[in-house]
Chains A and B, each alone.
Chain A
Amino acid sequence: MTVRKRLHLNTAASAITVLVVALVLSIGLYRINRAFGELDIADEILKGSFQRYTLLNDYLMNGNQRAREQWFSEHAAIGNTLSIASQRVQNSPDKKIIAEMIVDHEATAKLFTGIVENRESTSADRVPDELSAAIEQRHLTQLNIRLYDKILNIDALRFSARSRVFSELKRTGGAIVVFIIIAAALSAVGSWATGRFINRRISMLRRGSSIIGQGDLDHRIDIKGNDEFADFSQAFNAMTEKLRMSHRELRNEIADRKRAEEALQQLNETLEQQVSDRTELAEARSRQLQALAVELIEAEEKERRRIAQILHDDLQQMLAAAKMQLQTVSESLPDEWMLKNVCQILEQSIAKSRRLSHELSPAVLHHSGLVKGLEWLCGQMEERFGLKTALETGLDMPLESTPLRIFLFRAVQELLFNIVKHAGVKTARIEIAGSSGFLAINVSDAGRGFDPALIDKRPDKMGFGLLTIKERAKYIGGKLGIESSPGKGSRFALAIPMAMLDSGSTRQLTRAVPKPVRPPDLSTPPSVAGDTRVIFADDHQVMRQGLIQLVSKQPDIHVVGEASNGREAVEQARRLRPEVIVMDISMPEMNGIDATRIIKSEMPQIRVIGLSMHDDESISQAMREAGADAFISKTVGPADLLKAIYAPDREKRMQNLKT
């Protein structure tokens, strides 16, 4: 049975109970009302009986007609009441009482009539007084008996009516209570049964839903019947079945997806590995390309330098030696214009060769560092293109890496060339500073400017120079920033990590500079008294022989040694302790500047005279900073060289003479 029907039954039971209670109450009220009616009749008879008794006494005392007629009237009224009572009363004992009262009523009339006739008889009919008194006594006695009997009967009627009232009240109340108890019991039983039924169903549902909720989708709620819970459980089971199917499909789908994901992941890993490999390969290739580019640049630079060295070491030395020998020869010959022409031609050849050498590879860059190189560059730019460049440097650390130094120099050179070509101005500015772990070189101008976006959009328009700078900067972890806008000049910011300045990679490319080592205290070798002991250090044997030959004619100059590079020069200086060392600048293994720095630090009494084909002030400055006492160009005449060799000796001699 459905819960709804159960609840409807309970409601119907309650409604029926209310109806039954109402019906019982109505019947009870009807009966009570009827009992009260009977009570009223009894009271009416009682009242009439007493009134009639009063009239009897009135008649017996006064014997008047009025009392007699009233007695009969009252008697008739009582008779009517009894008649009504006989019809209305339904209770069997009461009906019997009423019947007795009616008999008594008739007897009473007969007795009173007897009294009246006895009293009102005519003289002819009159009986003796004694008999008349007996007659009245007899009738009055019977009337009294009837009256008593009537009172008792009325009391019985009243008691019966009152009993019925209370009985009906009890019966009605009891019936109502019983019906209410029965209804309450039925309702309670119904509610209990319904509650138990619902509880059991809910318990089964809860247990089933809990099991299903814990993941057992194969479980089914086993509720049978035609109630809502059975319907609900069927719906729940159907839903669970769908859920199970969906779950299975979902599980399969998840498994498929997992497999796909695993395959994808595997593929991805493979791809990543491949990409990684390719990237690594590409990076390696890129590095190789960059390295090749760098090597190419370096090769170019080497080639430049090699050619410059050839020019410097061979051609210029030869020309210088030729010029020097020519001058030496010409000193002993008469003044001949042709010799002078040859000498001028030699000077011009030396000058052009020197310029070409400088252009190919500025020696100052190698000997004196980046800043000096840039200063030289600025001078060149102004000399050749009229571009006045202001150089501001805040860099206080040496730049040991030669490739890096060359790169930076070439980069600045390229940027300055761009200014010359595109900016349309005659001034530029170079700022060198180290900050935030980067060495920053900014080259700026106030020229035409351009849109940097155009370069990004059209890299081909960037030009090979800028592209090369950018690629090389990127290769070593730096970058080239361009700030410019049309009409507002340009600013190129080249940033190189500080770590690169002395990094292992660059350090490998950097020529090792031997630290000055104080040699053991060697005894000064014996020298010819008064002679100036000289060592010539030059890697060009022709030049070295020419110089030896030049001073060999001097009686007070004694060439004690010669060296083909700086290292030998240092070793011979330690060993031979000369007064003068004529030191070429550009030499293999160790250049003249470094050798001079070592020698001067260990043996400051030795005079070092720098000698070079370079006539740059920067070179001369570098030599002086290394401790050289004099610097002369190879292109000068022999007199200048001797003057340089002698000059301190003369002062020394003069000093000796004075002392």
Chain B
Amino acid sequence: MHPSKGMDSRIRKSTIVLLRAVFLFVAVIGATILVYSEGLTANEPADSITLAYVNTTHAVLAGVALRNGYFQEEGLEVTSREHSFGKSAMADMLNGNADFATVADPPIMMEVMRGRKIYVLATIQKSNKDNAIVARRDAGIIDPSGLKGRRIGTTLGTTADFFLEAFLVANSIRRADVEKIDLVPEQLHEAMDNGRVDAVSAFQPFLAELQHKMGAGVVSFYDESIYTWTFSVVARQEYVRKNPRTVEKLLRALVKAEQFVKMNPQEAQKIVAEYSGMPIGLIRDIWPGMRFAVTLDQFLVLALEDESRWAIETEAVDRRKIPNYLEYFYFEGLEAVKPDAVRILGRPKARSQP
């Protein structure tokens, strides 16, 4: 054979072998992707849950997850029960009408102190500007000291109640120096307007609505340093133990909503406006004071303990001892979904190492 013909033959054979190797490699990768994608798309039977949530600006992540179908994406068939404030939503959950509820920290504290077996699954929202005291100018109240001896309307057992307590103490006013009138948020404007109360302690969005309705006739007192308001997702412990996968799905959907809200705040505001019926302008006004993040951290423990002391002092509950709130935190769910968000001192960090 001619030497050059041999060289051509070797080159041709090498090319064929190379092409075969590439084809085999592509085939293996393709098959792997196909199998893997089939695994990913294999649908499990959807879990049916009932979520009692606040349809205002207090459970934005839950509202966005519902509207954007994140629960469905995670395999949850959600029945939503809307409430105007968290205490009501949690009561609905505790009454067995819902599996999960969105609620602020004071109602959680109150139910735990009352011996309810609940789990805090995650905090989904925080704010330092959600609460304020609104007082009538015509009642002669122009500064916090003017609240002394006045009738102040508030929803007992809520953040508004706790904020009022903290504000009074911070301004050297004893709680005995004021008269608290228990009102649901929807009654605050009317009570203020008809003079039944001289001032009210309110949270958003009722606070903004009240300020808007009362106009220049009222004065508002804020104090970002004395109270940080949180909104969390809670469930009964029994339910959580039986449905840990459902909890993870719920939390995963909320994390998706968190990403969406952070990346698309204006879209999120529109969604909130749609399901809450609040003016978009009002939502935009209060939006900067709110922080949206799915976490489970030390702050909530301290806040609950602080609120527990207040509840004991005011004899709002019968229990005289502050419980170990860590026993009411369900870490495994969030650790499985977003381990970095579990920030409890002394607890082994489950977050992935960078």
Contact = CB atoms under 8 A, between A and B. Distances in A.
A148 interface: yes
Interface string B287-322: 000010000011100110010010001000000000
B169 A142 contact: no
Interface in B249-278: none
Contacts of A114: 170
Interface string B1-13: 0111101100100
Interface string B55-96: 000000000000000000000000000000000000000000
A106 B225 contact: yes
Q: Which of B228, B297, B303 has the most CB of A within 10 A?
A: B228
Interface residues of A, number: 44
Main secondary structure of the interface of A (DSSP, over half): helix
Contact of A145 (B3, B302, B354): B302
Contacts of B309: 137, 141
B226 A138 contact: yes
B172 interface: yes
Contacts of A200: 8, 11
A210 B11 CA distance: 20
Contacts, number: 90
Nearest to A151: B345
B2 A210 contact: yes
A284 interface: no
Interface string A74-118: 000000000000000000000010001001001110110010001
A629 to B, nearest CB: 109
A156 B343 contact: yes
Given A152-B297, A203-B4, A207-B2, A135 B11 contact: no
A405 interface: no
Given A162-B354, A200-B11, A131 B225 contact: no
A137 B302 CA distance: 13
A166 B7 CA distance: 50
A206 B6 CA distance: 11
B172 A145 contact: no
A640 B291 CA distance: 193
A155 interface: yes
Interface string B172-201: 101000000000000000000000000000
Interface string B324-354: 0000000000000000100101000001001
Contacts of B343: 152, 155-156
A135 B2 CA distance: 104
Contacts of A162: 354
A101 to B, nearest CB: 12
Contacts of B303: 145
Q: Which of A107, A111, A128 counts the most chain B CB atoms within 10 A?
A: A107
B264 to A, nearest CB: 14
A127 B128 CA distance: 27
Nearest to A113: B225
Interface string B112-146: 00000000000000001000000000000000000
A204 interface: yes
Given A103-B224, A145-B302, A148-B302, A138 B170 contact: yes
Contact of B4 (A134, A166, A210): A210
Nearest to A110: B225
A464 interface: no
Contacts of B5: 207
Contacts of A155: 343
Interface residues of B, number: 32
A163 interface: yes
Nearest to A100: B291
A131 B169 contact: yes
Contacts of B306: 141-142, 145
B166 interface: yes
Interface in A114-160: 114, 118, 127-128, 130-131, 134-135, 137-139, 141-142, 144-145, 148-149, 151-152, 155-156, 159
A97 to B, nearest CB: 10
A149 B224 contact: no
Contacts of B291: 96, 100
A468 to B, nearest CB: 82
Nearest to A163: B354
A199 interface: yes
A79 to B, nearest CB: 15
A199 B302 CA distance: 78
A108 B3 CA distance: 88
A352 interface: no
B299 A127 contact: no
A142 B3 contact: no
Contacts of B7: 199, 202-203, 206
A166 B354 contact: yes
Contacts of A159: 340, 351, 354
Contact of B170 (A96, A135, A156): A135
B169 A141 contact: no
Contact of A148 (B298, B340, B351): B298
A287 interface: no
B354 A206 contact: no
A606 B299 CA distance: 186
A107 B169 contact: no
A148 B345 contact: yes
A422 interface: no
Nearest to A117: B172
A143 B299 CA distance: 11
Contacts of A461: none
A210 B5 CA distance: 12
Contacts of B225: 106-108, 110-111, 142
Interface in B1-36: 2-5, 7-8, 11
B128 A103 contact: yes
A191 interface: no
Given A148-B299, A207-B5, A131 B172 contact: yes
A196 interface: yes
B299 A107 contact: no
Contacts of A156: 343
A107 B345 contact: no
A210 B43 CA distance: 69
A194 interface: no
B224 A207 contact: no
B341 to A, nearest CB: 10
Contact of A131 (B174, B298, B299): B174
Interface string A353-370: 000000000000000000
A85 B299 CA distance: 23
Given A118-B172, A127-B172, 15 more contacts: A111-B225, A114-B170, A131-B172, A134-B313, A137-B309, A138-B166, A141-B306, A142-B225, A145-B228, A148-B298, A148-B345, A159-B340, A159-B354, A203-B4, A203-B7
Interface of A: 96, 100, 103, 106-108, 110-111, 114, 118, 127-128, 130-131, 134-135, 137-139, 141-142, 144-145, 148-149, 151-152, 155-156, 159, 162-163, 165-167, 196, 199-200, 202-204, 206-207, 210
12 contacts: A107-B224, A108-B225, A111-B226, A128-B174, A131-B169, A139-B226, A142-B225, A142-B226, A159-B351, A166-B354, A200-B8, A206-B4
